[in-house]
Amino acid sequence: MLTHFKDRDKVKSWSQAIAKRSCHRKACVAVARKLAVIMHAIWSDATFYAGDAAATPTHTS
């Protein structure tokens, strides 16, 4: 997410700020934890994640 992901995302910009003030390793651990929390919330609530506010959610029924 920190190195290979090219699109804009709230988690990526958040993690880059952590990497800037701390170190890359701590930012990687923070991203892993944040993604685990997001994935658990998605799994629990059956919701979706839109990382960019400009992105439109896709809903398939």
What is d(CA 48, CA 30) in angstroms, rounded to the nearest whole number?
A: 21
45 phi, psi to nearest 5 deg = -100, -10
Beta-carbon neighbour count of residue 18 at 10 Å? Answer: 18
Q: At a CB cut-off of 8 Å and minimum separation 6, what does 54 contact? A: 8
2 vs 35 pLDDT, higher one? 35
Q: What is the pLDDT of residues 8-59, one digit of tens each?
A: 678 888 888 898 998 889 888 998 998 898 888 888 887 777 665 554 445 4
Residue 61 has pLDDT above 50, yes or no: no
